[in-house]
Amino acid sequence: MSATRPIRRLLVANRGEIAARIIRTCRGLGIETVVTVSEADRDSLPARLADRAVCIGPARATASYLDIGAVVMAAIGTGCDALHPGFGFLSERAELAAACAKAGIIFVGPRAETIRQLGNKIEARALAAAAGVPIVPGDNSVADFARAEAVAREIGMPLLFKAAAGGGGRGMKIVRSEGELRSAFETARAEAQAAFGDGTLYIERLISDARHIEVQILADRHGTVLHLGERDCTLQRRHQKIVEEGPASLVPAPLVARLRQAAVDLARSVGYENAGTVEFIYDQQRQDFFFLEVNTRIQVEHPVTEELTGIDIVAEQLRVAAGAPLTLAQEDVRLCGHVIECRINAEAAEAGFRPAPGRITRWKAPPQDFVRLDTHCHEGYVVPPFYDSMLAKLIVHGADRTEAVARAGAALEAFEIEGVETTLPFLRRLLARPEFASGAVNTRWVEAVVAEPSFFAPLPPARHPAAAEAAS
């Protein structure tokens, strides 16, 4: 256990809205900031907000934001005593945490060893099981049909065969009934053998009617592990979250309590430090949940939790990274109301969500009541083509879910962005769907509704009931 070291100057090793968001908290805490920029981001909002911007490389992320040497050297060269990796880029690379430790720079995140352990899916699954956290029923070493039959009988239908030796969908087969088991087994085994030289299969229960629920955790090196409640991130498209909300009011309360405890148990079992998220899949048919993975960093959707709890997660990250104990206790964490976050991307949703970089010619944010907007964008900003397409996160608070849904719809309706195509029209349609209001959705729902021919059909103005209500 090392001594407390104050953070006086922080390197923000990221870009976009998260860089701006981290700088904002540092200003409030009196911590100086240096932000890393690529050549494409020299004039970005984070570069102007930070006390200093340091150019670490060309626009190409592999030679700038993903270059561990350049990032750590930037921290050394500018006299920073700590580094915040944000999310994406290098945030879950154990090598970055290790390089910081070697250079005597505080890494704002878990220890390198924790990142490595939890970043390995097989190891993380084993750690979860060892901590008593439920894992998706299955078996990872099915070599013959007799074993496959036995496992299938145990976990039930439908199930999924995967190649034990690799990913990428090869050797993957869904089995919906016992009659299909043998042919699926033979096909999957042959594909796995051909693709990976190893016909060993992995069988897992297929949870087709699932919600994605994740628990925010916060831990210090003095043995305190807290949960800050959970978020429901069921609205996804190709594993990319689109809308996140909290608390998980559509999951039975006793299960939510167990989920939170499971997350704390897992974090405690690995001696977790700093902020993290334990992700679970929730089976709506069987009303059961299973561990998915741990994200060892701050997440895109952390504002949902901040708005629910009033806790500044970045400030807490900096506190525990400096070695100080958390001043919060579990009973201090209270979730107030309901919060919904929408990710607004520069994408043409109707054209298969094609990225749409370019110059923003008009930017009119919705009124600030009940709304938090995390963004690095403004009128005249040129969205570069080199990075992810997220422009802003619109976070809306309501006393309960019904009010939050209405306010989110109204805020989306009031938001005006011109010059680049955005997912605003898509989000307005999505949130206006009755399934969203009632909560009758699962992780495949967005892809299913987007595939409906009528989804993108033109609608009359003020089509959102909440917008009409707000306007009246």
Partner 1 sequence: MAASEVAELLRAFESSGFARLAMAIGPVRVAASRPLASDTAKEAHPDAVAVNAPVLGMFEPARASDGAPLARRGADVLTGTPIGVIRVLDALHSVTAGIAGTVVAVHAGDGAFVEFGAPLISVVPADAGVRGAP
User: Which residues here bind partner 1, judged by CB under 8 A?
Assistant: 39, 51-52, 54-58, 64, 69-70, 72-74, 77-78, 99, 103
List, in order, residues 6 or more apart from 8 with CB less than 8 Å away.
31, 32, 81
**DSSP state at residue 4:** P
Which of helix, strand or coil describes residue 49? helix
Least CB distance from residue 168 to partner 1, whole Å? Answer: 33
Question: 287: buried, middle or exposed (CB in 10 Å: 19+, 13-18, 0-12)?
Answer: exposed
Cα 151 to Cα 4, 125, 163, 173, 410, distances in angstroms: 50, 18, 16, 15, 49
Helix (H) or strand (E) holding 219: strand 210-219
Cα 220 to Cα 2, 110, 231, 325, distances in angstroms: 12, 10, 22, 6
Per the residue annotation, which of 15, 221, 260, 297 is the catalytic one?
A: 297
Residue 100 or 308 with smaller CB distance to partner 1:
100
Cα 147 to Cα 126, 128, 180, 185, 195, distances in angstroms: 21, 24, 16, 11, 22
Residue 39 or 139 with smaller CB distance to partner 1:
39
Residue 40 or 264 with smaller CB distance to partner 1:
40
Q: CA-CA distance, 213 to 464, in Å (whole number)?
A: 27
Least CB distance from residue 100 to partner 1, whole Å? Answer: 11
Residue 95 or 144 with smaller CB distance to partner 1:
95
432: phi > 0 → left, psi -120 to 50 → alpha, else beta; which?
alpha
Residue 77 or 310 with smaller CB distance to partner 1:
77
Least CB distance from residue 109 to partner 1, whole Å? Answer: 19
Least CB distance from residue 78 to partner 1, whole Å? Answer: 7
Residue 58 or 167 with smaller CB distance to partner 1:
58
Least CB distance from residue 57 to partner 1, whole Å? Answer: 5
Would you mind telling me the total number of residues written for the chain in this entry?
Answer: 472
Q: Quote the Cα angle for 403-407-409, to 5°.
A: 120
Of the candidates 393, 343, 346, the one whose C-alpha atom is nearest the C-alpha of residue 373 is: 393
Cis peptide before 158 (omega within 30 of 0): yes
> Is position 297 annotated as part of the catalytic site?
yes
Task: Give Dmax (Cα) for the chain.
Answer: 66
Least CB distance from residue 338 to partner 1, whole Å? Answer: 38
- Hey, which residues are catalytic here? 297
